[in-house]
Amino acid sequence: MKEKKELQSTPSIWRNSRFTRMFAAHTAASFGDWFDAIAIQVLVAYRWEADPMLIALIPVVMALPGLLLGSIAGTLADRVHKAWLMIGCDAAIALLTLAILAVPGPAWLLPLLGLRAAAGVFQMPSQQGLTRTVVASGDLFRATSLNGLVNQASKVAGPLLGAMTLTVLSPQACIILNALLRLCSGLLLWPLRGIGPALASTDQQAAVADELQEKPALHAAPEAGDARMREEPVRASGFLSQWREGWAFLWRTRMLLHTLIFGLFGLIAILMIDYQFPTLLRVLAPGNESLLGWLVSAIGAGAVGCMLVLNRLNRISAGWGLGGGYVLVGGAIAALGWAQPGTGLPVLLTIGATLGIGNGLYIITQNYILQAKTPADMVGRVFGIQSTVIGAIMIVSPLAGGLLIQMAGAGTAFVWIGLTVGVLGLAGLLLQSVIWREPLADSSLAPEQNVDLA
């Protein structure tokens, strides 16, 4: 049987034209999302003066599609042309984003955000799966860190550009820019639309045909045996069967299971205040709408710096990446809660940068573990399962956070939640040999893969 030719690692990942197209599309979409996010938070928190519980409903309606559709989206991403699915999601997100321009208040905004989030649920596992398809194993850490770098870099430029746009124009202008950038993302992915299961199936069929020609005795199998051989692949390729296979694989893979469980415990706390930064900043600096953009940019800058260092090192251990990341994130959240009205901008930006460094450590480590420990044909399902569980948490955590802020105040809630995340991260550092007993490629990538990205 002919073996399928594997992708070869290259001295520079930028020579992979398929990845560069995906990277450009991801960049356009990420920057657009941050234009949009800042505009929506300013509309809700400052212009409409919504209370914490109403603000908490925004992540809830955005998480509900992930809870209902996450596993389905992951399974679908493993069965269809991933680029086609991503292009369709970009188009849907662009149209729903433009529809936001017509809403008169939060009650109309929430359903549109939920529908738009549903399109995003199908896009994320498709992107992860397509990355695993077009990038060689030796380049996977670089691709993962670069994609994460874009996510964080967009937190630097996106909020700053969004804040500048808000001062000159309006939140509606930021929303239009997001829709245009989503359309650009779809156009960049258009040449990749042929990559998917159909190509793999064609290769497999050709290989099987060659084997049958080389070994004609295989045609003499009993008729009943042939029927069973034909039926088994059909059953195995069923949608429900593949969905179950994804959960079973995750359950028996210790490294993946422990990584997701550890991360989800932290997310339960973090998501309680993730959308409540405007509520805290209204107390620290009343009327200063641009402070939100500055703080988010500082968080992104810290994450970008961290990811650039990791990209050069091309190595990270699970304990230091996940546990250490949570220590920094928790400490920064608690520090924001301790801040008092009149706290200087340099202090707030330093706290934000520290939060970003921790966030960068955690995101890169988790995504690399999920991709490196998952076969290429199951990446979509694993990330889809992650989306489902995160969606379930986001139904409860933001509402609990809104209630906590109303009862104890924004500052006190941030302190309690920050300390909780910090203690969890410290436990991860101290118990890393127990939690992540299986090494992650000897806690790093192979030495020969530690090359520059230039």
User: What is the distance between the alpha carbons of residues 131 and 18, in angstroms, rounded to a whole number?
Assistant: 9
What CATH number has the domain spanning 17-188+238-443?
1.20.1250.20
Task: Supply the pLDDT for residue 319.
Answer: 79
Helix (H, G, I), strand (E, B) or coil at 215: coil
Task: Supply the pLDDT for residue 355.
Answer: 92
Q: Report the amino acid identity of residue 126.
A: S
User: What is the distance between the alpha carbons of residues 378 and 87, in angstroms, rounded to a whole number?
Assistant: 21
Characterise 286 by phi-psi region: left (phi > 0), alpha (psi -120 to 50), beta (else). Answer: beta
Task: Supply the pLDDT for residue 4.
Answer: 45
| List of the chain residues with pLDDT < 70 | 1-11, 70-71, 74, 77-78, 152-153, 155-156, 158-160, 162-164, 166-169, 195-240, 242-243, 314-315, 376, 380, 437-454
DSSP string, 148-202: HHHHHHHHHHHHHHHHHHHHHS-HHHHHHHHHHHHHHHHHHHGGGTT-SHHHHHH
Task: Supply the pLDDT for residue 13.
Answer: 74
Show the 3-state SS of 132-146.
HHHCCHHHHHHHHHH
Task: Supply the pLDDT for residue 417.
Answer: 94
User: What is the distance between the alpha carbons of residues 399 and 392, in angstroms, rounded to a whole number?
Assistant: 12
User: What is the distance between the alpha carbons of residues 16 and 243, in angstroms, rounded to a whole number?
Assistant: 31
Per the CB < 8 A criterion, the answer to whether 302 and 356 are in contact is yes
Give domain limits for the chain.
17-188+238-443
Task: Supply the pLDDT for residue 353.
Answer: 92
Query: CA nearest 390: which of 296, 268, 275, 278?
Result: 268
Query: CA nearest 188: which of 27, 57, 61?
Result: 27
| Per-residue pLDDT tens digits for 363-392 | 888 877 877 777 767 776 777 777 777 777
Q: What's the token pair of residue 157?
A: 């430029």
Alpha carbon distance, N-terminus to C-terminus of the chain: 38
User: What is the distance between the alpha carbons of residues 339 and 348, in angstroms, rounded to a whole number?
Assistant: 8
Per the CB < 8 A criterion, the answer to whether 134 and 195 are in contact is yes
